[in-house]
Amino acid sequence: MNNIRSYVESKILPFVETPGQYIGEEWNSIKKEDKDIDVTIALAFPDTYAIGMSHMGMQILYGLLNERTDTACERVFSPWYDMEAALREHNIPLYSLESFRPLQEFDIIGFSLQYEMSFTNVLNMLDLAKIPMKSKERAETDPLIIAGGPLALTPEPISDFIDIFFIGDGEEKLPQFIEHFKILKNTEKLSREEKIVSLVKEMENLYAPSLYNITYKSDGVINRIEPNLPGIPPVVRGASVSNLGKTYFPDKPIIPYVQTVFERISIEVMRGCTQGCRFCQAGMTKRPNRIRSVDKIMNISEDCYRNTGHDEISLGALSISDYPHLKDLMNQMGEAFDQKKVNIAFPSLRVSDQLTGLPSLLNTVRKSGLTLAPEAATMRLRKVINKDISNEDLFAGVKEAYKEGWNLVKLYFMVGLPTETDEDIEEIANLAYKISSLKKEVKGSYGNVNIAISPFVPKAHTPFQWEPMISLERIKEIRHIIMDKIRHRRIRVKFNKPERSILEGIFARGDRRLGKVILQAWHDGCRFDSWDDHFDYGKWRTAFEKTGLNESFYLSRERGESEVLPWDHLSCGLIKEFLISERKKSFDQEFTPDCFRNGCPDCGACPRSEHYVKS
């Protein structure tokens, strides 16, 4: 390992961009001696260091596992093109940052799956590590390849390449996994497959694709998904942390030496969301709401600030304005950090009657922009997606922000939602003009408005999981309508790359057969598909042609409610009857109220539901 370090530092790093991302030894990173360790695990993030080190989930698992005296947890990220070429030229295997240990020498490699367009990077990292990409081709001495994150609930497209998927929250279950793995590691005469079976039977939140057979009907839809061994659960239920206040949170997060996407302290104040937006996979799969107390958040904030010196704290939640103690929290944050010139930041805010009070709470050091997510511009379409907001609340909140000194409002919209019309699309432009003009009413000049528009991608485990996605041609037509309507120097529009949204739509609801498309695309040179400059839709189209799979089968057809879906054997707690009911309500333009404050809709995800099953 020392030989690899010295060779890389002398022969490779002087010739690649941002070499600091490949050397480790950052402040608060942890390096352990091998003599004290029973289990080694590399956390693998299939994107650049700058993106991976901005992801709080990796910091949490890194600190949690390294608290164990028997475990060494290290990190690895997807190397950029120049570093990949150098590693291949010099025949250096992909290594971890902490010890420069080749990945093939770890017991476990754990991938974080956050986005469908990172799949080719997963394959590339395995290849660079000289580990067989397909699970069935690995030898007894190869590391166990596991994966977690939101895409573990829709894993089939990449299931050929992963030994075990970890479903749901990891803070409580991952240490249990390590404990059982340690026992198996020291058990003689157990094959690789026998270890996988033992792990799955011991823990109810693990999905091993090799233990399930999938058959198909003549029209291509799935016939059955069933275990191929006794004792393997027909449905794998995701783990769920019941008490967020008691879960681990690192008070000494790693401080990168090179610039990353987010250079701040990120604290999750609440997990889950019960607003019930019918398009939102995270809001459906992360139920129920679990909150951290104000005292706990303050303790974490002060410890992290003391150990990092970051000048911004981001308070994270799917719907931060629903945090029940927000005013008290912001008052205490102001008292603790205003004089230290530490900025308190929010993610996008939900529009409600509370919005008028938020700008004053956010009246901290910097006012980079107020971010709001109306998602749809007309009340009719908001009813369809269960986004219970009004323009009156939106306008009142924006006016208050302008009064408090904000000059920029950022708005997020989706296009291609079920039942959408041209009128719904044109209203996006009208709303943007109105938001800009509100500043003229308050301060005498038009406000700056940035609009981010994303094509709607139907997601699994949501009421829209059965809906077709709009075509690439229709997305381009919508973009033309919006761009033609908005001709204002104060309004800027950013439209997500439609071709990439199409691929995301395919893989978001895809089955196991798509693995050969991913493999073909990787062979044809696809890498960093989430980066605009490196995304090549032509190569993906060619990969579908070479493998004989039809994109429209996954993208453009309406699924039947009785159809076996590629994720039906994986549960986040929601029952299908609830999703079907919400789908019907969407077409009836009927709101379902927030169950955090109103009655229980019996979705199955929390103890109040009569269909609840404890995970």
| pLDDT tens string 441-491 | 988 999 999 999 999 999 999 999 999 999 999 999 999 999 999 989 999
Look at residue 614 in the predicted model and tell me its pLDDT: 59
The tens digit of pLDDT for each residue in 399-409 reads: 988 888 888 99
The tens digit of pLDDT for each residue in 505-561 reads: 999 999 999 999 999 999 999 999 999 999 999 999 999 999 999 999 999 999 999
**DSSP 3-state helix, strand, coil percentages of the chain (rounded to 5)?**
40, 15, 45
Q: Give the C-alpha separation, 451 to 428, whole Å.
A: 9
Distances (CA, A) of 189 to 140, 193, 314: 11, 11, 49
Look at residue 28 in the predicted model and tell me its pLDDT: 96
Band (pLDDT 50/70/90 cuts) for residue 109 is very high
Q: Give the C-alpha separation, 131 to 144, whole Å.
A: 10
For residue 250, cis peptide bond before it (omega within 30 degrees of 0): no
The tens digit of pLDDT for each residue in 185-226 reads: 988 789 999 999 999 999 989 999 999 999 999 999 999 999
Look at residue 365 in the predicted model and tell me its pLDDT: 45
Average pLDDT over the chain, rounded to an integer: 93
Band (pLDDT 50/70/90 cuts) for residue 34 is confident
Look at residue 353 in the predicted model and tell me its pLDDT: 61
Q: Calculate mean pLDDT across residues 28-41.
A: 94
Residue 576 identity (one-letter amino acid): K
Ranking 114-118, 338-342, 346-350 by mean pLDDT, the lowest is: 346-350
SS in 3 state form for 343-407?
EEECCCECCCCCHHHHHHHCCCCCCCCEEEEEECCCHHHHHHHCCCCCHHHHHHHHHHHHHCCCC
Band (pLDDT 50/70/90 cuts) for residue 268 is very high
Q: Which two tokens stand for residue 541?
A: 């189209």
Q: Calculate mean pLDDT across residues 426-430.
A: 96
Look at residue 367 in the predicted model and tell me its pLDDT: 61
> Domains in the chain, ordered, with CATH?
2-237 (3.40.50.280)
Q: Give the C-alpha separation, 271 to 253, whole Å.
A: 20
The tens digit of pLDDT for each residue in 54-89 reads: 999 999 999 999 999 999 999 999 999 999 999 999
Question: Per-residue pLDDT for 357 more than 80?
Answer: no
- Contact criterion met (CB below 8 Å) for 277 and 324: no
Q: Is the entire prediction scored with pTM above 0.85?
A: yes
Q: How many CB atoms lie within 10 A of CB 270?
A: 24
SS in 3 state form for 152-198?
HHCCHHHHHHCCEEECECCCCHHHHHHHHHHHHHCCCCCCHHHHHHH
- Contact criterion met (CB below 8 Å) for 31 and 112: no
Find how far residue 63's CA is from the centre of its chain. 20
